[in-house]
Amino acid sequence: MPTFTALTTLSGKAAAEALGEAMEHLVPEPTGVGILDLEDDSGLWEVGGYFTEAPDEAGLALLTAMHGSKPFAVSELPDTDWVAHVRRELAPVEAGRFFVYGSHDADKLPAGKIPLLIEAAMAFGTGHHGTTLGCLRALDHLIGEGFKADKVADIGCGTAVLAMAAARIWDGTILASDIDQVAVDVAEANLRANGMAGRVGCVEAAGFDHADLHAAAPYDLIFANILKGPLVALAPDMNAHLCPGGYAILSGILNEQAQNVVEVYARNGINQVRRDEIGDWTTLLLQKQS
Amino acid sequence: MAKKLAGTMKLQVPAGKANPSPPVGPALGQRGINIMEFCKAFNAKTADLEPGAPCPTVITYYQDKSFTMDIKTPPASYFLKKAAKVKSGAKTPSRETVGTVTAAQVKEIAEAKMKDLNANDIEAAMQIILGSARSMGIEVK
């Protein structure tokens, strides 16, 4: 079956959503419509439709005029094995001693690495983003320095890749929490897929707001790969839940936000040890005063 | 974990029958989203629906290729065509009637669509379905 695409760009999310919705009423109707922030600082959004027959170019021209977008570029996609294409894009990620891979790369495990099987599915934390990669690198650094943890918490765990990485290294108590029950379910499924069922306690919680997380405190190491706003709000709780000399690995921070986060945590007695920038994202390794 | 949004898309996917062919394959594949994981999750979530019923599905995808999906009920036009036993609506609905449905069927469709309609009660939902029927040249008896 042929697939045609009709793509255009225009400024602003609301305008893109309105155009996307209008595209759904074209005849022949598209089988799919997508909008995408181009994230190139231009403020432009891409709006595209997928069709199984050639789209009505007059209808597209009308939409262009009504919504002020650039003219649609219509093309027929070449016949492609999209599953194979995606597998090439979802290549394994190496972060120090850790090797994060999808099941389609199970035959590529390198010797001497610690494997973590994570499917790119319905929770964040596949290793393909600078934030997760930065956290794994920070953990790898701590391990390299001879640090040992008895108690670890992963706040906003997503896939629980960070909690699992810690559990591959240390024998102590490891808890993972997420505000999203879907992520908690994915985390538990990932633990089973890695032969670690029950090794990490997974709970649904906002921040540290769960009895299990309170009961296990204080922690030697806390991961929080969230976003700047929640990280700043968590700073006092982070101090309360870290043991003296304990470490926090924070990510989800844009490079230009990092200094502000460092200052907020310093005011809460948790100081910067190391900073790692990967693309637009910064990961901070911080330590609570002894 | 922080979800770093990349984009959203809306696809019509047949209940229980998502596979890598269009639109799923090219739409997800071009964005590097794990097609097989999507199909597996979508088919599991729609297992209780009528197989093949077209489900508008909003997929939100993130910068690390993870995604979430919000599966809507099939469009009113699908239910109306099925109830009226017609393959398509009228080309000129103001002058042409292609089929009929009963008020009871309209209520049934309104109930099935209720969660996705901008309606406070079943009467308001029925009015929306009646509007759809009129626009398709389907008469309500």
In three-state form (DSSP H/G/I as H, E/B as E, the rest C), the secondary structure along A143-175 is HHCCCCCCEEEEECCCCCHHHHHHHHHCCCEEE
For residue range A144-161, list pLDDT tens digits in order. 999 999 999 999 999 999
Judging contacts by C-beta atoms under 8 Å, the chain B residues touching residue A119 are 34, 37
The beta-strand segments (E) located in B45-86 are 54-62, 67-71
Half-sphere exposure of A14 (CA within 13 A, CB side): 0
Q: Indicate whether this complex's ipTM tops 0.90.
A: no
For residue range B85-112, list pLDDT tens digits in order. 998 888 788 788 899 999 999 999 999 9
Q: Does B67 touch chain A (CB under 8 A)?
A: yes
Nearest Cβ partner of A227 from B2, B33, B36?
B2
**Residue A78 predicted with pLDDT over 90:** no
**Residue ranges of chain A that CATH labels 3.40.50.150:** 83-288
Mark yes or no for CB contact A121/B66 under 8 Å. yes
Residues 4-63, chain B: which have Cβ within 8 Å of A?
A: 4-12, 20-38, 41, 62-63
Exposure class string for B57-80: b at 16+ Cβ within 10 A, else e: bebebbbbbbbbbebebbbbbbbb
User: Residue A288 carries which side chain, given as an amino acid letter?
Assistant: K
pLDDT at A135: 97
Nearest Cβ partner of A119 from B4, B37, B63?
B37
Residue with tokens 């597996």: B40
For residue range B19-32, list pLDDT tens digits in order. 888 788 888 998 88
Mark yes or no for CB contact B29/A122 under 8 Å. no
What's the whole-number average pLDDT of chain A? 93
Percent of chain A residues topping a pLDDT of 90: 74
Which of A269-278, B12-21, B76-85 comes out lowest in average pLDDT?
B12-21
Cβ pair B56, B19 in contact under 8 A: no
**Residue A1 predicted with pLDDT over 80:** no
**Residue ranges of chain A that CATH labels 3.30.70:** 3-77
Judging contacts by C-beta atoms under 8 Å, the chain B residues touching residue A227 are 2
pLDDT at A141: 97
pLDDT at B1: 62
pLDDT at A55: 95
Structural fold of domain A3-77: Alpha-Beta Plaits (3.30.70)
pLDDT at A35: 86
pLDDT at A184: 95
Give the phi and the psi of residue A90 in degrees, each rounded to 5.
-90, 60
For residue range A238-271, list pLDDT tens digits in order. 999 999 999 999 999 989 999 999 999 999 999 9
For residue range B14-72, list pLDDT tens digits in order. 998 888 887 888 889 988 898 888 988 898 889 888 888 989 999 999 988 889 999 99
B1: closest CA of chain A, how far (Å): 4
Nearest Cβ partner of A52 from B8, B9, B22?
B22
Burial zone of B127 (CB within 10 Å; 0-12 exposed, 13-18 middle, 19+ buried)? middle
Structural fold of domain A83-288: Rossmann fold (3.40.50)
Please count the residue pairs, one from chain A and one from chain B, whose beta carbons lie less than 8 angstroms apart.
146
**Structural domains of chain B sorted by starting position, each given as residue range(s) with its CATH number in brackets:** 5-71 (3.30.1550.10), 76-140 (1.10.10.250)
Q: Is A156 annotated as a binding residue?
A: yes
Judging contacts by C-beta atoms under 8 Å, the chain B residues touching residue A117 are none
Nearest Cβ partner of B34 from A34, A80, A86?
A86
